[in-house]
């Protein structure tokens, strides 16, 4: 879409910050990204750190669907140990 | 022991006795180990899709794990439809594929495909095995994971060198503790009971989750005690048994008017093991508009996914149902007006298809299925394909148990029925298993006739042949101004001759007065047999809700128009 045709007051897509801990395995990141994509979110930023047998992943995501639904789907992945939504970042993005 | 022997060892430890597979280059070490194996029956299908769907049918009919095996590359890609089918219907399945040797991965080696990458969206979990030392533990975990919580397919991809490498025998028994995440045990049954007791028009809505949780008996006792009017999804068919006084049949796109009407009017929906799929709910905004919702499911991600619920219960379904049954035994619900109302709707708005008494009249799908339902033994397993015939079975066959009705629900996979019937027959060699297929679907896995012959499976095949892709033709007629496009199959092969080419006897019928004898003949035959049934091309499945429309807007057979109020049709 041509940006100039976008109404000035159109609300921006909600953005969320999630941190996720998962086991190191062959397809770890692909598995995570696949779920994020198919459940309706875009990755705006992603930082991955390897911590022993785990990966710690910080994600900034954009999407209009309820983020709790994505959290629930990510938690279903066998190798995902934890998904935490950064509430502070959520509040800041809602105020913005 | 080498890696291949570790796989067989895991089969033995976990009581896996039947597997469906097809050999090839990278999986050859496993096939070599099978030569010396005692205890594993390997069923050679004639296409890997047949292997996966047979494993699926085996799991559905038996409630146990289905196992399929293939080689790398084309073997693995051929499995994909069957694995996706199991994934969409939460069927416990273990998939084993050979992969090119570790050193060749990523070099575009012969028959290399990125199996892990291309199957991410259709598995519960998957592994690429790095070393033979890990194999035994991975097998234990995969087998456990496929069957626990919400079941699903788990894929283990094993490079050929890992299959050949030796590793010490597993010294200990697999851990009893579940490798899977267990469901939360916080269940608030008393709150559910309070909601049920304060409702005037409570309705039970159950799906495939009942049998997936092995809760068929608890569910049956619960429904009998609670005496709640009930509806089922396609996969929940059979949950209530065939004699339930309060059952209204399937809801949704091809559901009964009675079922959809009850959903529309109820003030409390008790959803058990169902995921509120769009084929069942129709347009969500208008679905059960007056109802509060209690949702019981093994999968936390299903709660509030499509409809926000007032109360969610998770945990052991058997335990939840038994606790609620006890409550109902001590104090039954006082909903006799609502029960009477639902029974009246069922009388006037159930699935009705008058049996055609005219002996020379052409056979219709519904009339045939009704006869089949009356003649076949109670514990017959029916494996359907996908299309109009599938819906006629769902509507008109009286199932007494959910494991007797094998139908591809979530994926709607044409070609499911024949291999699924093979799997079901291996699950119980003495049971009566019938594949009800359309002429289009039958051709999608017709190669499996060879498997039936090879193992001399006594299963029966029925083709309801309308010489077209009937379900597509119906939707073209109703929703695309009757502009038929690529649905004509009037050049089908001679199915009777085709069966005979596989050394399977076959019979053709086309008149109403031949139905009974046709069914009785194939059932009495002591071996595989095919019944080819010519039916009218123009026959439709009624009622129907246009995809995306509200369930209130069922299209009626006689009027062939949308009726915005079912009230006109259900007294
Ligand atoms: C593998 C696959 N391809 C296409 C479809 C789409 N589809 C759904 S029903 C149908 C027609 C099925 O025809 P047939 O098996 O003859 O059954 P009928 O509807 O005539 O009873 C088609 C093509 C599908 N469900 N599965």
Mean predicted confidence (pLDDT) in B2-12: 98
* Residue B519 Cβ contacting ligand 1 at under 6 Å: no
- Structural tokens at position B557: 């057979």
Per residue in B67-119, pLDDT (tens digit) is 999 999 999 999 999 999 999 999 999 999 999 999 999 999 999 999 999 99
Q: What are the backbone dihedrals phi and psi of residue B478, each rounded to the nearest 5 degrees, phi first? A: -85, -35
Mean predicted confidence (pLDDT) in B217-229: 97
Mean predicted confidence (pLDDT) in B403-409: 98
* Residue B409 Cβ contacting ligand 1 at under 6 Å: no
Residue pair B152/B87 in contact (Cβ under 8 Å)? The answer is yes
Tell me the C-alpha distance between B166 and B6, whole Å: 9
Q: Beta-carbon neighbour count of residue B566 at 10 Å?
A: 21
Output the furthest CA–CA distance in chain A (Å, rounded).
Answer: 49
The gap from C-alpha B517 to its chain's centroid, in whole angstroms, comes to 29
Catalytic choice (B5, B11, B20, B48): B48
Report the gap between the CA of A5 and the closest CA in chain B (Å): 31
Mean predicted confidence (pLDDT) in B377-398: 97
The pLDDT, as a whole number, for residue B181 is: 38
* Residue B66 Cβ contacting ligand 1 at under 6 Å: no
Sheet holding B153-159, edge to edge: B41-44, B18-21, B66-70, B93-99, B153-159, B125-128
Residue pair A85/A14 in contact (Cβ under 8 Å)? The answer is no
User: Nearest residue CA, atom 8 of ligand 1?
Assistant: B387
pLDDT in tens, chain A (96 residues): 444 444 556 678 999 999 999 999 989 999 999 999 999 999 999 999 999 999 999 999 999 999 999 999 999 999 999 999 998 766 665 565
**From the CA of B390, how far away is ligand 1's center (Å)?**
10
The count of residues in chain B is: 571
**From the CA of B484, how far away is ligand 1's center (Å)?**
14
A39-53, B124-138, B549-563: range with lowest mean pLDDT? B549-563
Taking Cα atoms as reference points, which of B311, B205, B312, B320 lies closest to residue B262? Answer: B205
Tokens 């959290």, residue located: A71
Task: Answer yes or no: do A30 and B120 touch at CB < 8 A.
Answer: yes
The gap from C-alpha B98 to its chain's centroid, in whole angstroms, comes to 27
**From the CA of B487, how far away is ligand 1's center (Å)?**
9
Mean pLDDT (chain B, rounded): 93
Task: Answer yes or no: do A68 and B304 touch at CB < 8 A.
Answer: yes
Task: Answer yes or no: do A26 and B304 touch at CB < 8 A.
Answer: no
Taking Cα atoms as reference points, which of B546, B99, B542, B526 lies closest to residue B283? Answer: B546
Task: Answer yes or no: do A38 and B127 touch at CB < 8 A.
Answer: no
Q: Which residues of B touch A78 (CB under 8 A)?
A: 124-125, 145, 180-181
* Residue B539 Cβ contacting ligand 1 at under 6 Å: no
The gap from C-alpha A14 to its chain's centroid, in whole angstroms, comes to 11
Whether B393 has a pLDDT exceeding 60, the answer reads yes
Report the gap between the CA of B120 and the closest CA in chain A (Å): 6
ipTM: 0.90
In three-state secondary structure terms, B271 is strand
* Residue B250 Cβ contacting ligand 1 at under 6 Å: no
B195 is catalytic: no
Residue pair B418/B442 in contact (Cβ under 8 Å)? The answer is yes
Per-residue confidence band for B556, with pLDDT thresholds at 50, 70 and 90: confident
* Residue B384 Cβ contacting ligand 1 at under 6 Å: no
Per residue in B137-180, pLDDT (tens digit) is 999 999 999 999 999 999 999 999 999 999 998 766 655 544 33
Per-residue confidence band for B391, with pLDDT thresholds at 50, 70 and 90: very high
Task: Answer yes or no: do B180 and A78 touch at CB < 8 A.
Answer: yes
The count of residues in chain A is: 96
Tell me the C-alpha distance between B469 and B464, whole Å: 11
List B250's β-bridge partners, or say none: B232
Q: Beta-carbon neighbour count of residue B182 at 10 Å?
A: 11
Q: What percent of chain B has pLDDT over 90?
A: 90
Q: What percent of chain B has pLDDT over 70?
A: 94
Q: Which domains does chain B have, with CATH numbers?
A: 3-172 (3.40.50.970), 186-349 (3.40.50.1220), 365-540 (3.40.50.970)
Task: Answer yes or no: do A78 and B145 touch at CB < 8 A.
Answer: yes
Taking chain B, what is the end-to-end CA distance rounded to the nearest angstrom? 70
* Residue B439 Cβ contacting ligand 1 at under 6 Å: yes
Taking Cα atoms as reference points, which of B158, B100, B97, B103 lies closest to residue B133? Answer: B158
Tell me the C-alpha distance between B42 and B514, whole Å: 39
Sheet holding B268-272, edge to edge: B247-250, B230-232, B202-206, B268-272, B292-296, B311-313
Per residue in B450-468, pLDDT (tens digit) is 999 999 999 999 999 999 9
Tell me the C-alpha distance between A96 and B6, whole Å: 57
- Selected for mutation to probe chain B from A23, A27, A32 (highest B CB count within 10 Å) is A27
Mean predicted confidence (pLDDT) in B381-388: 98
A81 in reach of chain B (CB within 8 A): no
Least CB–CB distance from B121: residue in A26, A38, A66: A38
Per-residue confidence band for B311, with pLDDT thresholds at 50, 70 and 90: very high
* Residue B438 Cβ contacting ligand 1 at under 6 Å: yes
Non-local (6+) Cβ contacts of B332 within 8 A are B225, B226, B227
Helix axes B388-396, B365-375, angle to 10 degrees: 50
How many contacts (CB atoms, under 8 Å) link A and B? 40
Tell me the C-alpha distance between B406 and A38, whole Å: 28
Prediction pTM value: 0.94
Higher pLDDT, B173 or B539: B539
- Selected for mutation to probe chain A from B118, B134, B141, B181 (highest A CB count within 10 Å) is B181
Catalytic choice (B110, B175, B520, B538): B110
Interface of B with A (CB under 8 A): 116-117, 120-121, 124-128, 130, 145, 180-181, 299-301, 303-305
Q: Beta-carbon neighbour count of residue B564 at 10 Å?
A: 11
Taking Cα atoms as reference points, which of B408, B493, B548, B375 lies closest to residue B86? Answer: B408
| Closest residue in chain B to residue A72, using alpha carbons only | B301
Task: Answer yes or no: do A30 and B300 touch at CB < 8 A.
Answer: no
**From the CA of B307, how far away is ligand 1's center (Å)?**
30
Characterize the bridge pairing of strands A80-85 and A15-23: antiparallel
B160 is catalytic: yes
Mean predicted confidence (pLDDT) in B566-570: 35
The pLDDT, as a whole number, for residue B560 is: 60
Q: What are the backbone dihedrals phi and psi of residue B94, each rounded to the nearest 5 degrees, phi first? A: -110, 125
Per residue in B467-491, pLDDT (tens digit) is 999 999 999 999 999 999 999 999 9
**From the CA of B81, how far away is ligand 1's center (Å)?**
15
Tell me the C-alpha distance between B376 and B384, whole Å: 15
B471 is catalytic: yes
B219 is catalytic: no
Sheet holding A80-85, edge to edge: A42-51, A54-62, A15-23, A80-85
Query: Could you say which residues from 49 to 68 on chain A have a Cβ atom under 8 Å away from some Cβ of chain B?
Result: 66, 68
Number of helices (H), then strands (E), belonging to chain B: the values are: 22, 21
Give the DSSP H/E element, type plus range, for residue A56: strand A54-62
Report the gap between the CA of A8 and the closest CA in chain B (Å): 30
B398 is catalytic: no
Q: Which domains does chain A have, with CATH numbers?
A: 13-95 (3.30.70.260)
**From the CA of B388, how far away is ligand 1's center (Å)?**
8
């Amino acid at each position: 879409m041509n940006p100039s045709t976008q109404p000035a007051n159109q609300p921006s897509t909600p953005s969320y910050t999630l941190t996720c801990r998962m086991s190191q395995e062959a397809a770890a990141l692909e598995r995570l990204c696949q779920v994020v994509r198919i459940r309706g979110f875009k990755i705006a930023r992603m930082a991955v750190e390897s911590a022993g047998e785990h990966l710690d992943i910080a994600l900034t995501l954009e999407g209009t669907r309820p983020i709790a639904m994505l959290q629930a789907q990510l938690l279903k992945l066998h190798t995902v140990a934890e998904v935490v939504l950064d509430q502070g970042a959520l509040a800041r993005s809602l105020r913005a | 022991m080498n890696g291949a022997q570790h796989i067989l060892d895991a089969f033995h430890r976990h009581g896996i006795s039947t597997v469906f597979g097809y050999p090839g280059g990278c999986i050859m070490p496993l096939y070599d180990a099978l030569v010396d194996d005692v205890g594993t029956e390997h069923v050679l299908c004639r296409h890997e899709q047949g292997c996966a769907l047979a494993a699926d049918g085996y799991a559905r009919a038996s409630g146990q794990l289905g196992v399929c095996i293939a080689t790398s590359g084309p073997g693995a890609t051929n499995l994909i439809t069957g694995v996706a089918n199991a994934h969409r219907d939460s069927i416990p399945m273990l998939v084993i594929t050979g992969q090119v040797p570790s050193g060749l991965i990523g070099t575009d080696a012969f028959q290399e495909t990125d199996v892990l990458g291309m199957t991410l969206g259709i598995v519960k979990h998957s592994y690429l095995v790095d070393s033979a030392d890990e194999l035994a533990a991975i097998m234990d975990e995969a087998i456990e994971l496929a069957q626990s919580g919400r079941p699903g397919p788990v894929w283990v991809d094993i490079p050929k060198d890992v299959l050949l490498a030796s590793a010490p025998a597993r010294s200990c028994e697999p851990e009893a503790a579940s490798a899977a995440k267990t469901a939360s045990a916080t269940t608030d049954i008393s709150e559910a009971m309070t909601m049920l007791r304060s409702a005037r028009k409570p309705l039970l809505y159950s799906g495939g989750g009942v049998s997936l949780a092995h809760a068929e008996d608890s569910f049956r006792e619960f429904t009998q005690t609670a005496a709640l009017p009930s509806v089922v999804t396609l996969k929940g068919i059979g949950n209530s048994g065939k004699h339930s006084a309060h059952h209204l049949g399937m809801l949704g796109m091809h559901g009964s008017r009675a079922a959809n009407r009850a959903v529309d009017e109820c003030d409390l929906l008790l959803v058990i093991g169902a995921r509120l799929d769009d084929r069942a709910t129709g347009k969500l905004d208008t679905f059960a508009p007056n109802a509060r919702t209690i949702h019981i499911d093994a999968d936390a991600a299903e709660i509030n996914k499509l409809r926000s619920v007032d109360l969610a219960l998770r945990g052991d379904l058997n335990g939840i149902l038994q606790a609620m049954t006890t409550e109902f035994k001590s104090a039954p619900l006082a909903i006799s007006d609502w029960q009477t109302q639902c029974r009246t709707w069922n009388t006037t708005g159930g699935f009705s298809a008058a049996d055609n008494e005219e002996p020379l009249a052409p056979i219709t799908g519904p009339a045939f299925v009704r006869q089949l339902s009356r003649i076949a033994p109670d514990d017959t397993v029916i494996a359907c394909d996908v299309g109009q015939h599938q819906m006629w079975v769902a509507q008109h066959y009286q199932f007494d148990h959910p494991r007797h009705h094998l139908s591809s629900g979530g994926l709607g996979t044409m070609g499911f029925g024949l291999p699924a019937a093979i799997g079901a027959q291996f699950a119980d060699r003495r049971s009566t298993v019938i594949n009800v297929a359309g002429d289009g679907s039958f051709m999608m896995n017709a190669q499996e006739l060879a498997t039936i012959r090879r193992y001399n499976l006594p299963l029966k095949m029925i083709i309801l042949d309308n010489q077209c892709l009937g379900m597509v033709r119906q939707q073209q007629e109703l929703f695309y101004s009757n502009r038929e496009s690529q649905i004509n199959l009037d050049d089908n092969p001679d199915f009777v001759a085709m069966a005979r080419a596989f050394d399977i006897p076959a019979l053709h019928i086309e008149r109403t007065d031949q139905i009974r004898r046709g069914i009785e003949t194939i059932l009495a035959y002591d071996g595989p047999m095919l019944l080819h049934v010519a039916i009218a091309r123009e026959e439709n499945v009624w009622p129907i809700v246009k995809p995306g429309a509200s369930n209130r807007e069922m299209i009626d057979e006689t009027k062939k128009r949308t009726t915005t109020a079912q009230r006109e049709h259900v007294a």
